[in-house]
A and B are shown apart, each in its own frame.
Chain A
Amino acid sequence: MKFVDEYRDAKAAHELAKRIKAVVTQPWTIMEICGGQTHAIVRFGIDELLPPDITLVHGPGCPVCVTALELIEKAIEIASAPDVIFCSFGDMLRVPGLHRDLLAVKAAGGDVRIVYSPLDALKLATENPDKQVVFFAVGFETTAPANGMAAYQAHRLGVRNFSLLVSHVLVPPAMEAILGSPHNQVQGFLAAGHVCTVMGYHEYEPIAAKYKTPIVVTGFEPVDILQGILMCVTQLEQGRYEVENPYSRVVTREGNIPAQKLLSDVFEVVARKWRGIGEINNSGLALRGEYRQYDAELRFGLADRKIEESAECISGLILQGIKKPHDCPAFGTRCTPEHPLGATMVSSEGACAAYYRYRGATASGRRAG
Chain B
Amino acid sequence: MADDKNFALSCPTPIANYEQILLAHGGGGKLMRQLLESVVLPALDNVHLQSRHDASVFVVGNQKLAFTTDSYVVSPLFFVGGDIGTLAINGTVNDLAMAGARPLYLSLGLILEEGLPVETLSRIMDSIKKTAAEADVQIITGDTKVVDRGKGDGIFINTAGIGVVEHSLDIVPGSVRPGDAIILSGDIGRHGIAIMAQRAGLQFETTIESDCAPLHTAVQKLLAGGIDVHCLRDLTRGGLASALTEVAQQARLGMHIKETAIAVCEPVRSACELLGLDPLYVANEGRFVAFVPENDAERALAILKSEPVSEMSTFIGTTTVDDAGLVLMTGTIGSTRIVDMLSGEQLPRIC
Which residues of A does B touch, CB under 8 Å?
1, 4, 8-10, 13-14, 36, 42-46, 48-49, 63-64, 69, 72, 89-94, 96-101, 103-104, 106-108, 114, 116, 138-140, 142-143, 183, 194, 222, 275-278, 308-317, 320, 322-323, 334-343, 347-349, 356-360, 368-369
Residues of B within 8 A of A369 (CB): 323, 326, 328, 338
> Are B273's CB and A276's CB within 8 A?
no
- Whether a CB of chain A sits under 8 angstroms from the CB of B306 is no
Give the residue name and chain of the A residue nearest to B269 (CB). Answer: A1
> Are B14's CB and A341's CB within 8 A?
yes
Given that A1-B266, A99-B13 are known contacts, is A14 also in contact with B348, CB under 8 Å in the complex? no
Chain B interface, DSSP helix/strand/loop, else mixed: loop
Residues of A within 8 A of B18 (CB): 103-104, 107
Nearest Cβ on chain A to B259's Cβ, whole angstroms: 10
Residues of B within 8 A of A13 (CB): 333-334
Chain B CB count within 10 A is highest, among A10, A323, A356, for: A10
Residues of B within 8 A of A94 (CB): 344, 347
- Whether a CB of chain A sits under 8 angstroms from the CB of B45 is no
Nearest Cβ on chain B to A322's Cβ, whole angstroms: 6
Which 10 pairs, one residue from A and one from B, show the smallest C-beta to C-beta distance? Answer: A45-B335, A309-B10, A90-B347, A313-B11, A312-B11, A358-B337, A107-B20, A90-B348, A337-B343, A13-B333
Given that A98-B12, A314-B4, A369-B323 are known contacts, is A49 also in contact with B348, CB under 8 Å in the complex? no
> Are A64's CB and B350's CB within 8 A?
yes
Residues of A within 8 A of B20 (CB): 104, 107-108
Given that A107-B22, A311-B8, A347-B349 are known contacts, is A14 also in contact with B334, CB under 8 Å in the complex? yes
The docked-state distance in angstroms from the alpha carbon of A143 to that of B331 is 30
Q: Using a CB-CB cutoff of 8 Å, which residues 312-351 of chain B contact chain A?
A: 323, 326, 328, 331-338, 340, 343-344, 347-351
Nearest Cβ on chain B to A364's Cβ, whole angstroms: 13
Give the residue name and chain of the A residue nearest to B334 (CB). Answer: A10
The docked-state distance in angstroms from the alpha carbon of A358 to that of B6 is 31
- Whether a CB of chain A sits under 8 angstroms from the CB of B30 is yes
Residue in contact with A116 in the complex, picked from B11, B19, B200, B340, CB distance below 8 Å:
B200
Given that A310-B11, A368-B338 are known contacts, is A44 also in contact with B333, CB under 8 Å in the complex? yes
Residues of B within 8 A of A316 (CB): 4, 7-10
> Are B23's CB and A143's CB within 8 A?
no
Give 27 A-B contacts (CB < 8 Å), ordered by A residue.
A1-B269, A4-B269, A36-B349, A42-B337, A44-B333, A45-B334, A45-B337, A46-B335, A89-B348, A92-B350, A94-B347, A96-B15, A98-B12, A104-B20, A139-B351, A194-B351, A310-B11, A311-B5, A312-B11, A315-B10, A320-B7, A338-B344, A339-B17, A347-B349, A360-B338, A368-B337, A369-B338
Residues of B within 8 A of A309 (CB): 9-12
- For B, the interface residue count at a CB cutoff of 8 angstroms equals 52
> Are A104's CB and B22's CB within 8 A?
yes
> Are A8's CB and B332's CB within 8 A?
yes
- Whether a CB of chain A sits under 8 angstroms from the CB of B39 is no
Residues of B within 8 A of A336 (CB): 343
Residues of B within 8 A of A89 (CB): 348-350
The docked-state distance in angstroms from the alpha carbon of A323 to that of B202 is 40
- Whether a CB of chain A sits under 8 angstroms from the CB of B24 is yes
The docked-state distance in angstroms from the alpha carbon of A9 to that of B23 is 38
Given that A317-B4, A335-B14 are known contacts, is A91 also in contact with B349, CB under 8 Å in the complex? yes
Given that A98-B13, A275-B10, A342-B12 are known contacts, is A48 also in contact with B348, CB under 8 Å in the complex? no
Given contacts A36-B351, A93-B347, A317-B4, 4 further A-B contacts (CB under 8 A): A90-B350, A278-B7, A316-B10, A349-B350
